[in-house]
């Protein structure tokens, strides 16, 4: 590989800046033409590319103007069918959103699901949305049951032999009796019942 001094020749100076090197390289032809084969001038290439683009445009216009009435009708029918599909899909999407909102879901909850369930067929979309809501509700119910079971598991049961409170209950007396028996569970139960009664 040639050094910078060899590339620049007489234009080379010690301590040149990048701008000076770039200016010196502008007029240099650094490509070995023998390895390239046939080369086209950039101006000639740009002119030819521009003419080709213009000719393609004219050909397209000519093809469109020479379409038969039947071909034009077919093209318009295809466009109309595509629009109809888009409208059906949008309408089905609205129906799915309505189902999700009615089920209590927020937009950021159901938005990721829309693309997966919406189709051009409104009935299919509605069925998919309802199925999705059923799955979500089943999951909610299962979680609620687990939480409820956990809460009940941690809630102490009332001690055996303690009658259900009917009418006016003397909580202080019940607490004192439990203390005397050394029954800490019954004592805690009656203290809690007294607190609940005082709240009400």
Q: Give Cα 189 distance to the centre of its chain.
A: 51
Note the pTM of the prediction, 2 decimals: 0.41
Q: What gap in Å lies between CA 125 and CA 114, rounded to an integer?
A: 9
Q: Per residue of the chain (200 residues), what is the pLDDT tens digit?
A: 667 777 777 777 888 888 887 887 777 766 666 665 566 677 888 888 899 999 999 888 877 777 677 777 888 889 899 988 888 888 888 888 888 888 888 888 888 888 888 888 889 888 988 888 898 888 888 888 888 877 777 666 665 555 554 557 888 888 999 889 888 888 889 888 888 888 76
Domain boundaries of the chain, sorted by first residue: 69-154, 159-200
Q: Count Cβ neighbours within 10 Å for each residue of 57-85 and write b for 16 or more, e otherwise.
A: eeeeeeeeeeeeeeeeeeeeeeeeeeeee
């Amino acid at each position: 590989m040639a050094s910078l001094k060899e590339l620049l020749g007489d234009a080379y100076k010690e301590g040149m800046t990048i701008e000076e090197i770039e200016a010196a390289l502008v007029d240099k032809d650094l490509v070995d033409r023998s390895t390239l084969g046939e080369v086209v001038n950039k101006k000639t290439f740009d002119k030819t590319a521009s003419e080709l683009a213009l000719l393609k445009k004219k050909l397209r216009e000519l093809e469109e103007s020479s379409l038969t009435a039947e071909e034009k009708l077919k093209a318009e029918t295809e466009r109309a069918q595509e629009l109809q599909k888009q409208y059906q899909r949008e309408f089905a999407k609205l129906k799915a959103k309505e189902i999700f909102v009615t089920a209590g879901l927020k937009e950021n909850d159901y938005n990721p699901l829309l693309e997966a369930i919406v189709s051009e067929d409104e009935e299919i979309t509605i069925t998919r949305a309802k199925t999705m809501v059923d799955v979500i509700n089943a999951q909610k119910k299962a979680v609620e049951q687990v939480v409820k079971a956990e809460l009940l598991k941690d809630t102490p049961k009332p001690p055996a032999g303690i009658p259900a409170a009917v009418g006016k209950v003397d909580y202080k007396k019940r607490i004192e009796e439990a203390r005397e028996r050394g029954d800490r569970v019954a004592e805690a139960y009656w203290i809690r019942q007294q607190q609940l009664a005082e709240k009400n």
